[in-house]
Amino acid sequence: MSTESLFQPLKIGRYTLAHRVVMAPLTRMRATPGVNAPNALNAEYYGQRASKGGLIICEASPVVASGTAGPNVPGIYSDAQIAGWKLVTDAIHAKGGIAFLQLWHGGRISHSSLQPDGGVPQSASDIPPSGGMVLGADFKPHPFETPRSLRTDEIPALVAAYGQAAKNAVAAGFDGIEIHGANGYLLEQFLQSRTNKRTDSYGGGIENRARLMLEATKAAADAIGADRVGIRLSPYGRANDSGEDDPMPLYSYVIGELNKMGLAYLHLIEPRASGAGQREVDHQDVPSGCETVRPLWKGALITAGNFKSENAAATVAKGHADAIAFGRFFIANPDLPELIRRNAEFRPYDRSTFYGGDARGYTDYAPLSAAAG
pLDDT tens-place string over residues 210-230: 999 999 999 999 999 999 999
* Per-residue pLDDT at 285: 59
Q: 185 pLDDT exceeds 50?
A: yes
Q: 206 pLDDT exceeds 50?
A: yes
- Domain around 271: 4-372
Of 45, 162, 185, 355, the catalytic one is: 185
* Per-residue pLDDT at 147: 98
Adjacent-strand bridge partners of 283: none
Q: pLDDT tens, 239-253?
A: 899 999 899 999 999
Average pLDDT, the chain: 94
| Ordered alpha helix ranges (H), the chain | 40-49, 79-94, 155-171, 186-191, 206-209, 211-224, 247-259, 289-293, 309-317, 328-332, 336-341, 369-372
- How many domains does one find in the chain? 1
Question: The domain spanning residue 208 has which CATH number?
Answer: 3.20.20.70
Q: 276 pLDDT exceeds 50?
A: no
What DSSP string describes 312-350?
Answer: HHHHHHTTS-SEEEE-HHHHH-TTHHHHHHTTPPPPPP-
Q: pLDDT tens, 307-346?
A: 999 999 999 999 999 999 999 999 999 999 999 999 999 9
Q: For residue 62, count CB atoms less than 10 angstroms from its CB and return exposed for 0-12, middle for 13-18, buried for 19 or more.
A: buried
What does pTM read for this prediction?
Answer: 0.96
* Per-residue pLDDT at 131: 83
Question: pLDDT confidence of 103, banded at 50, 70, 90?
Answer: very high
236 catalytic per annotation: no
